[in-house]
Amino acid sequence: MTALLEAQGLTVGYGAAPVLHDVDLTVAQGSITAVLGANGAGKTTLLRTLSGLLRPAAGRVVLEGQDLRGVRVEQMVRRGVAHVPEGRGVVTELTVDENLRLGGLWRRDRADTKRALDEVYGLFEPLARRRRFPGHQLSGGERQMLALGRALVGRPRLLLLDEPSLGLAPRVTAQIMALLRTLRDGTGLTVLLVEQNVRGALSVADTGVVMSLGRVVANADAAALRDDEDMRHAYLGF
Amino acid sequence: MDRFVFLTFDGLSRGAVYAAFALALVLIWRATRIVNFAQGAMAVATAYVGYSVSAATGSYWLGFVVAVLGGLVLGAATERVVMRFVDHSSHLNGVVVALGLVLVIQGVLGMIYGNEFRPAEAPFSREAFTVGGIALLSPFDLFVFGAVFIVVVLLAVLFTRTSVGLRMRASAFAPDVSRLLGVNVGGMLTLGWALAAAVGSLAGMLVLPTELGLHPNAMDIVFVSSFTAAVVGGLDSAVGAVAGGLIVGLLLSYVSGYLGATVAPIAVLLLLVVVLLGRPGGLFSRSAARAV
């Protein structure tokens, strides 16, 4: 297993109180890792630290053997890391097409960006029908497609997703999860997925990491977390 | 009736300048949520440089170009060196810092150039054409309309059709998300300030020939009128800034013409009060009046 991303001893806080305590995490290349836990467990803080929006007080983040200390947020996308933040981050004042193009502006290869854009429209047919719609006219599911599509336009190697199923109907959630599986299998995309929807996340994940109060309390095969009753009861409450 | 026509055209001509200046204010407001109270002083400073270059080289147009380019540089420098470090937790912080900049700029101008009024020549004749005995527009007025029209069109094209414009809008609407998408948000902010200040400098060069002359405080009243125009149009609306500018220009012209020039500033302030009381979001705001 090649590790694409590693978090080593991360301690992060907003102001005085630390939110993450000594967090270790390894994301294997070409896998889907689910980060699970209740509200306040520190899952969003973890993602924001991995993508550079937050600086750790201690510990480090390593991408393919390279320490990411000092790397600016704007550079992460050039290293192949795409972060879809909590709330999706659809820019509501811009149109669907403008949001998607925004995802590829940093790239130099204009021709391939255009191809990626066409592929995204092919993947998300509702977006193709609403190219000129401003973001605020989209439904929750369409916004999730837009946020995901925008990340994919940059052809990332690692996708950081913060609660993609939030506010979505079960059918739409299942479609998103299935899409992640397809992308992993088809293009070798690595995904780190923060979710409160445990069943949905474990249905596609290879690895499950459970967090509680800012610490990692379990890190196991997703199948084990799903099927081992004791583990499930202990860490996931069902 | 002749008088009315003349006042209308004169008002629209002044209004075009206020529209450009108000656009500069709206640009910075949309990107940073700061009203650039130093915009007038910055425009005067670049106008001084421009007219100095004109006097030294004998070419008005060289000075004009230098003034606008000076605006680009001054705007970028102001953002990088001063405004970037302002704590955004309170709106007032940006205002206080900008007002401080005004004092510094006007003080320095006074030291270098003195406080007498200097002549600010117009590049074209200011005598109005007459059609059937009615005075309409002067060549200079046409120049003003043309210049402002070109600026508005260029800015519209920049923002809606170029990737730089897309980056700038995204940086203003959603800075954190934009960073995650690889946009250099800090750089876009500096560019926004540079463009806004260049537009302000252009407006300054267009209005100074119609004022008493070049003086460190020469743009103060223009700032108040343009700020009113921006508020009337809705601070978030570029279209509103242009409409607001024309409205303020016409109002000032009619009031000066029919009631006297001394009453004109009062009329502008009255307009500001009425709009803030009745529709604080401005005429072009999407939502109904909301007290802020």
* Contact: B183, A105; criterion CB under 8 Å: yes
The model carries a pTM of 0.86
Element (H, E) at A140: helix A140-153
Q: Can you give the pLDDT at residue B121?
A: 84
Of A1 and B242, which is predicted with more confidence?
B242
Question: What was the pLDDT predicted at B124?
Answer: 85
Q: The CATH number of B2-278 is which of 1.10.260, 3.40.1350, 1.10.3470, 2.60.40?
A: 1.10.3470
The pLDDT of residue B162 is 94
Confidence (pLDDT) at A226? 84
Tell me how far apart the alpha carbons of residues B114 and B221 are, in angstroms, rounded to a whole number: 20
For residues A104-143, one letter each, b for 16 or more C-beta atoms within 10 angstroms of the residue's C-beta and e for the rest, the string is: bbbbeeeeebeebbeebbebbeebeebeeebbeebeebbb
What is the ipTM score, two decimals? 0.92
Long-range contacts of A119-127 (CB under 8 A, 24+ apart): A119/A152, A120/A149, A120/A150, A120/A152, A120/A153, A121/A149, A123/A149, A123/A152, A123/A179, A124/A148, A124/A149, A127/A96, A127/A100
> Which DSSP state fits B288?
P
**Which of B163, B177, B183 is opposite residue A85, by nearest beta carbon?**
B177
CB contact under 8 A, A101 and B182: no
Query: Looking at the complex, does the CB of residue B175 fall below 8 Å from at least one CB of chain A?
Result: no
B66 within 8 A of B53, measured Cβ to Cβ:
yes
Closest residue of chain A to B163, computed from CA coordinates: A105
Mean pLDDT in chain A? 92
Q: What's the rounded Cα separation, in Å, for the pair A91 and B69?
A: 32
**Intervals of chain B under pLDDT 50:** 287-292
A85 and B176 in contact by Cβ < 8 A? yes
Q: Cβ contact (<8 Å) for A76 and B170?
A: no
pLDDT attached to residue B31? 82
Task: Show residues of chain A in contact with B185, CB under 8 Å.
Answer: 74
pLDDT of res. B285: 67
Q: What does the domain layout of chain B look like in residue ranges?
A: 2-278
| B118 at interface of A, judged by CB pairs closer than 8 A | no
Per-residue pLDDT at B292: 35
Chain A residues interacting with chain B (CB cutoff of 8 angstroms): 51, 53, 73-78, 82-83, 85, 89, 91-94, 98, 101-103, 105-106, 150, 154
A25, pLDDT greater than 80? yes
